[in-house]
Amino acid sequence: MSTETTAPAVQKKRILSCIQPSGIPTLGNYLGALKNWKKLADTFDGTFAVADLHAITVRQDPATFRKQINQVLALLLAIGLDPDESTIFIQSHVPAHAQLAWILNCYTQFGEMSRMTQFKDKSAAHADNVNVGLFAYPVLMAADILLYQADLVPVGADQKQHLEIARDIANRFNTIYSPTFTIPEPYIGKQGARVMSLQAPNKKMSKSDPNPKGYISVFDEPNVIVKKIKSAVTDCDGKVFYGEGKDGINNLMGIYSCCTGLDYDRIAHDFDGKGYGEFKAAVADAVVEELRPVRERFAQYIADKGYLEEVAAKGAARAARVADRTLMKVMKKVGFVLPK
Ligand code: AQP
């Protein structure tokens, strides 16, 4: 008889990330989030969603919205995520998100939500449409995370407050009833890229920026990228180095560093004595090369509607298996009569 024992399979930690189809994803979304997702998917049990329910907190044109949802799904494949390895789905295809969000609304205080800075920023930006969904957005985000019992959630600085709320809600529910939800931890990547607007470098680059010169979309053609970077706001100092009062150059250095892997000292050294024109041309080249393979793969996926539908259907079924289990657990604890 063999004495050999097989080591028990170590369960991978589960990581969850979402992206809103609220526009065409930008270089900011790519460098700050998407680029890392492929690496994370290789290490963790990855769940990635197109957060369409979140996107309607701001008014969307129906035809454009539909197109953007498919584009973001195709982009998730174009960055190299494998639908057989990771769970890739469209949020609204898994009804448990909306159902759990409603339940969690009743375990969240009005005062807590009122402190959310994103609500304050977005309600100021969309003063004509300060809807309840915008206010309750963090509760839906908590539902997204808690349904999958995610261990880790990659967050940028802008999302930290929302993850804190998700943890508070989960702890509250677990205390009132019994342990139900995994308490998610923030996952802080090595490179915390925060890409700023090319026209207002003290504001983050956003896909819903009404000024297209402020952002580079991941599908922008090379000549458009070159033009946008050429017209990026800088300063009149004329020297390439990272420093105070140099938001525009700091932003371009950050972008260049993310695309080339070079650190700030090396960049400052390489462009010592050269003007902003030469530096901007190098940044534009680096961005074009960084996005080229993504744009090429995207073109293949977006042309194959049947495959996208298949990926979405398989992903939703796989996501629902996990999400429904959590939802039923929650409903049972609250005292609902469960459907047979
Ligand atoms: N400028 C940025 N720099 C670095 N990371 C960024 N992210 C967004 N903008 C930057 C990260 O991208 C992921 C997906 O973001 P999202 O689409 O879910 O929502 P968002 O943060 O609100 O992105 P946008 O582009 O600003 O969308 P709109 O204009 O619709 O509000 C997140 O991990 C985010 O941190």
Predicted local distance difference test score (pLDDT) of residue 76: 98
Class of domain 14-192+305-334: alpha beta
* pLDDT > 70: percent of the chain: 95
Predicted local distance difference test score (pLDDT) of residue 5: 56
Residue 92 reports pLDDT greater than 90: yes
The answer regarding whether domain 212-300 maps to CATH 3.40.390.10 reads no
**Nearest CA to 196 among 123, 263, 124, 247?**
247
76-91 pLDDT, tens digit per residue, is 999 999 999 999 999 9
Evaluate: CB of 204 within 6 angstroms of ligand 1: yes
Whole-number Å distance, alpha carbon 92 to ligand 1 midpoint, is: 19
299-337 pLDDT, tens digit per residue, is 999 999 999 999 999 999 999 999 999 999 999 999 999
Alpha-carbon distance of 273 to 43, in angstroms, equals: 43
Is 207 assigned a catalytic role? yes
Who wins on pLDDT, 222 or 125?
222
Evaluate: CB of 149 within 6 angstroms of ligand 1: no
Is 274 assigned a catalytic role? no
Whole-number Å distance, alpha carbon 28 to ligand 1 midpoint, is: 7
Whole-number Å distance, alpha carbon 336 to ligand 1 midpoint, is: 36
pTM of structure? 0.91
Q: What is the DSSP letter of 287?
A: H
**Beta-carbon-side half-sphere exposure of residue 183 (alpha carbons within 13 Å):** 12
223-259 pLDDT, tens digit per residue, is 999 999 999 999 998 999 999 999 999 999 999 999 9
Predicted local distance difference test score (pLDDT) of residue 219: 92
Kindly name the residue from 122, 228, 246, 280 that is annotated as catalytic.
122
Residue ranges of domains in the chain:
14-192+305-334, 212-300
270-288 pLDDT, tens digit per residue, is 999 999 999 999 999 999 9
Same fold across 14-192+305-334 and 212-300: no
Whole-number Å distance, alpha carbon 75 to ligand 1 midpoint, is: 15
Task: Residue 59: count other Cβ atoms within 10 Å of its Cβ.
Answer: 11
183-215 pLDDT, tens digit per residue, is 999 987 665 578 999 999 999 999 888 899 999
Kindly name the residue from 35, 38, 207, 333 that is annotated as catalytic.
207
Predicted local distance difference test score (pLDDT) of residue 300: 97
The long-range contacts involving 29-33, CB below 8 angstroms and separated by at least 24 positions, are 29/207, 29/218, 30/79, 30/218, 30/290, 30/291, 30/294, 31/193, 31/195, 31/255, 31/258, 31/259, 32/156, 32/192, 32/193, 32/194, 32/195, 33/154, 33/156
